[in-house]
Structure 1
Amino acid sequence: MQAEFWHNKWQQKQIGFHLAQSNPLLLKHFHTLALAKNSRVFVPLCGKTLDIHWLLAKGHQVVGCELSEIAVRELFNELKLEPECRDMGNIKHFYANNLDIFVGDIFKLTKQQLGQVDAIYDRAAYVALPETTRAKYAAHLTELSQQAPQLLIYFQYDQSQLEGPPFAISDSEIKNNYQSNYQINWLDRPAIAGGFKGVPATEVVCHLTAT
């Protein structure tokens, strides 16, 4: 998707992808990452997700990347944090306490800017990208994080019945894009109540560990 598409979504408050609670699948499966307290968790394309609130409350550091500055400012406001901000050229860095958010194109974010991360939580990033971009994204995320373990959540439904995003993702695509660097362990496949606009849909959770 073009950047303007997402900027418009946030400007017009068309953010149906934003959950009004922490994702139950994060709460159920986060333990599989086996992280020590104060670990640094990367949340790509994070928006203002309440999952960040949950991760911080669990005693972790959180680092995110998000295209929309509107979303990031709302995130800090809802957390009642006053961030500092520094311009890093193509990227802006907002930070306060245990939270770092980089605002800009994730493909322009470098591993030097990101710093060390202990795990990745990807609920809404992979599925937001068109097929032509997803292999590039998977490779970039692997390189950015130096093969940090991932908890990845994606959707399966009949793409011919509904235009994404979020896009429908096959297990074979996940294999193609990740198996050269990760062992893939599928954890859960709950049906989504009501589907997507009436189209039956499943949420798939997998745990990726470096090979």
Structure 2
Amino acid sequence: MSRELEADRENWLQRWRAGQIGFHQATPSPLLVECWDRVGARDGTTVFVPLAGKSVDMPWLAEQGYDVFGVELASLAVEQFFAEQGLEPRVSHTPKGVLSESGPIALLCGDVFALDAPDLAKCGAFFDRAAVIALPPGLRQRYAREVYSKLPRGCVGLMITLEYPRHEKQGPPFSVPEAEVRELFESDWDIELLVRRDILAYQQSFRDEGVTALHAAAYRMQKR
């Protein structure tokens, strides 16, 4: 494991231990609700949710009729997810980590970078709200190269990013502009910008840090 990846892992584990999870949303992501129908995911397919945390986006996707395969590093996040959803998961130990399953939702406590193509073979779709923007630049490149490359051909998904003047704030979450999204993924994926929204008025913490412009962007992606 690289020093950068090890440091990033420890940073996120410490955030969960300290309850520093301001990135968690109590309601489904607005751009997921608005844009998911335009993604074109097959009915009943499995949706891959990387760096899933305890996201309520997972039960929202399950309610739409999809299976969900989330991957999360922090065991505390996995425990809190099932407790807060009122679910008693079946727990099994796998070579990639501890797998907790309840109904259509499976949540793997493990390293997303350790996944192999067979682990993702059933994932005909993905939803990425908090993964690509959570990773520093070097790990974003590795993430695109080592994780997204293992998703099956024809996979479709929705990626949500943030855009702000990089000199005004240190991530995470990091600013990932459209040019970088295309640089990271366009060699293997068709990318369509669905919407870009000015959200600065709704993000007090960013304004408190002196950020003067903040947009959320949603991309439909399909693997060639």
TM-score higher than 0.5: yes
Code of the aligned partner of 1:72: V
How far apart, in 2, do the equivalents of 1:201 and 1:160 lie?
13
Give the conservation status (yes or no) of the 8 Å contact 1:91–1:108.
Answer: no
Q: What is the aligned partner in structure 1 of residue 216 from structure 2?
A: 203
How far apart, in 1, do the equivalents of 2:183 and 2:11 lie?
27
Segments ≥4 residues shifted beyond 6 Å: none
- How many aligned positions are there? 211
Code of the aligned partner of 2:44: N
Q: What is the aligned partner in structure 1 of residue 103 from structure 2?
A: 97
Match of 1:165, SS state, is coil
Deviation of 1:141 (Å): 2.7
Q: Which has the larger displacement, 95-104 or 134-143?
A: 134-143
Deviation of 1:21 (Å): 0.8
| Alignment gaps of 5+ in structure 2 | 1-6
Code of the aligned partner of 1:139: R
Code of the aligned partner of 1:111: A
Match of 2:47, SS state, is strand
| Alignment gaps of 5+ in structure 1 | none
How far apart, in 1, do the equivalents of 2:223 and 2:13 lie?
34
Give the 3 Å change call, closer, same or farther, for CA 102–115 of structure 1 in structure 2.
farther
Matched, 1:61 2:67: yes
Q: What is the aligned partner in structure 2 of residue 128 from structure 1?
A: 134
Match of 1:2, SS state, is helix
Q: Which has the larger displacement, 16-25 or 83-92?
A: 83-92
Match of 1:102, SS state, is strand
Code of the aligned partner of 1:123: R
Give the 3 Å change call, closer, same or farther, for CA 86–114 of structure 1 in structure 2.
farther
Q: Which has the larger displacement, 33-42 or 168-177?
A: 33-42
Q: What is the aligned partner in structure 2 of residue 80 from structure 1?
A: 86
Give the conservation status (yes or no) of the 8 Å contact 2:200–2:206.
Answer: no
Deviation of 1:120 (Å): 0.6
Match of 2:148, SS state, is helix
- Matched ranges for 1:34-183 at <5 A: 34-147=40-153, 148-183=155-190
User: Which digits, 9 at most, give the CA deviation of each residue in 1:165-190, with x for residues without a partner?
Assistant: 00011212111111111111001110
Code of the aligned partner of 1:112: P
CA root-mean-square deviation: 1.5
How far apart, in 2, do the equivalents of 1:104 and 1:59 lie?
25
User: Which digits, 9 at most, give the CA deviation of each residue in 1:185-209, with x for residues without a partner?
Assistant: 0011101133452112000111111
Match of 2:200, SS state, is coil
How far apart, in 2, do the equivalents of 1:94 and 1:167 lie?
29
Deviation of 1:52 (Å): 0.9
Give the conservation status (yes or no) of the 8 Å contact 1:122–1:153.
Answer: yes
Match of 2:161, SS state, is strand
How far apart, in 1, do the equivalents of 2:121 and 2:102 lie?
16
Q: What is the aligned partner in structure 1 of residue 3 from structure 2?
A: none
Q: Which has the larger displacement, 127-136 or 143-152?
A: 143-152
Match of 1:127, SS state, is coil
Code of the aligned partner of 1:185: E
TM-score calculated relative to the size of structure 2 = 0.89
How far apart, in 1, do the equivalents of 2:223 and 2:206 lie?
36
Q: What is the aligned partner in structure 2 of residue 33 from structure 1?
A: 39
Q: What is the aligned partner in structure 1 of residue 192 from structure 2?
A: 185
